[in-house]
Amino acid sequence: MANDNIVEFPDGCESPYMANLIVENMITQCDANGNQCLLFKAIIDLYEIETQVTERRGEDHQQDKTRGWTLAVEWKDGSTSWERLRDLKESFPIEVADYAIANNIHEESAFSWWVKNVLRRRKKVIASSEH
């Protein structure tokens, strides 16, 4: 597809990340009148699962590798649950990106490589719908 971007994940895997995912996410959150009808209410907390520090052979510096993050989500029915970042960024990429910016964690390695892309694509979608 023309809208595919190949994204390399921190673990080295590559996968297409489509602009259509952003559009689909925005559309499925609204009813026919444009009113939001989310089951998702808000991200209320986050937790870094584990960070291990590894040294590269023959070099003086260390490299941090984040194993994963979980985020606490409040749902519209009042329940909460802990969800993996990798799942939320696929289901609710805009909300996770906005949360990362609002909580000043968008420069963390688990967020920095995709947050800017999600927000840029949202701007493009909004701009194209205004024409």
Instruction: Specify the CATH number for the domain of residue 94.
Output: 2.40.50.40
Read off the pLDDT of residues 64-90 as tens digits, 9 standing for 90 and up: 444 588 999 998 878 899 999 988 888
Read off the pLDDT of residues 33-51 as tens digits, 9 standing for 90 and up: 666 555 788 999 998 876 5
Q: What is the model's pLDDT at position 62?
A: 47
Run of H or E including 5? strand 4-8
Please indicate, yes or no, whether the overall pTM of this predicted structure exceeds 0.85.
no
- C-alpha–C-alpha distance, residues 88 and 33, integer Å: 26
Residue among 18, 1, 16, 22 nearest 125 (CA): 22
Residue 103 has pLDDT above 60, yes or no: yes
Residue among 106, 109, 96 nearest 67 (CA): 109
Residue 122 has pLDDT above 70, yes or no: yes
- Structural domain span for residue 117: 4-51+64-129
Q: What is the model's pLDDT at position 45?
A: 95
Query: Distance of CA 38 to CAs 5, 14, 26, 69, Å?
Result: 27, 30, 10, 23
The first and second tokens of residue 37, run together, are: 């009808």
- C-alpha–C-alpha distance, residues 45 and 52, integer Å: 22
- Torsion-angle region of residue 2: left (phi > 0), alpha (psi -120 to 50) or beta? alpha
- Give me the number of domains the chain comprises: 1
Is residue 22 assigned to a domain?
Answer: yes
Average pLDDT, the chain: 75
Is residue 58 assigned to a domain?
Answer: no
Q: Categorize the per-residue pLDDT at 126 as very low, low, confident or very high, splitting at 50, 70 and 90.
A: confident
- C-alpha–C-alpha distance, residues 39 and 92, integer Å: 11
